[in-house]
Amino acid sequence: MDLKIVHRLAQLMERHGLTEVELSEENSSVRLVRPRGGAATLAEASPVEAAASTTNDLEPEPETESHYVTSPMPGTFYVARSPEEAPFVGEGEVIKPGRVVGIVEAMKVMNEIKSEFGGTVVKVLVPNGSPVEFGQRLFEIQ
């Protein structure tokens, strides 16, 4: 099985919020399992004997580099300083590196989350007021 297909499966898992996906072909199979709030990992794979066939859903997407702003700690994620205020950033907004994009509350301390990347906010990946884990993706930036 082609590693590009495995990579594409991991992207599909991320996009659709899947925690597990398995693909079997004639002489090979692969199973990807993502721990809660983490990146996809290869759980098991059999030897590659046949050329991998692709379906429309497995064709490569255009090369657009996405970066992710992740949570530096476990806590509760907020998109604004208070419920009355507007969110720090919105989808489609262009930001510069160092911009505050959210807050993670941990042990009654509000910790500002700054983007390390400049670009366009493609997606806010976590709803306001949701619990987050260390390293969990909060924003997709292109």
- CA–CA separation, 136 and 113 (whole Å): 12
List the structure tokens of 140: 């997709």
pLDDT at residue 44, rounded to an integer: 43
- CA–CA separation, 128 and 80 (whole Å): 8
- CA–CA separation, 116 and 33 (whole Å): 28
Asked whether the predicted pLDDT for residue 82 surpasses 80, the reply is: yes
pLDDT at residue 27, rounded to an integer: 73
Q: Residue 126: which of 17, 18, 49, 30 has the closest Cα? A: 17
pTM for this prediction:
0.55
Neighbours of 85 (CB within 10 A): 10
Beta strand pairing status for 29-33 and 20-24?
A: antiparallel
Per-residue pLDDT tens over the stretch 29-64: 777 777 655 554 444 444 443 334 334 445 555 556
Asked whether the predicted pLDDT for residue 24 surpasses 80, the reply is: no
- CA–CA separation, 21 and 32 (whole Å): 5
pLDDT at residue 50, rounded to an integer: 36
What single-letter amino acid sits at 6? Answer: V
pLDDT at residue 84, rounded to an integer: 92
Which of 34-38, 106-110, 131-135 has the least mean pLDDT?
Answer: 34-38
Residue for token digits 């692709």? 54
List the structure tokens of 131: 């619990």
pLDDT at residue 52, rounded to an integer: 42
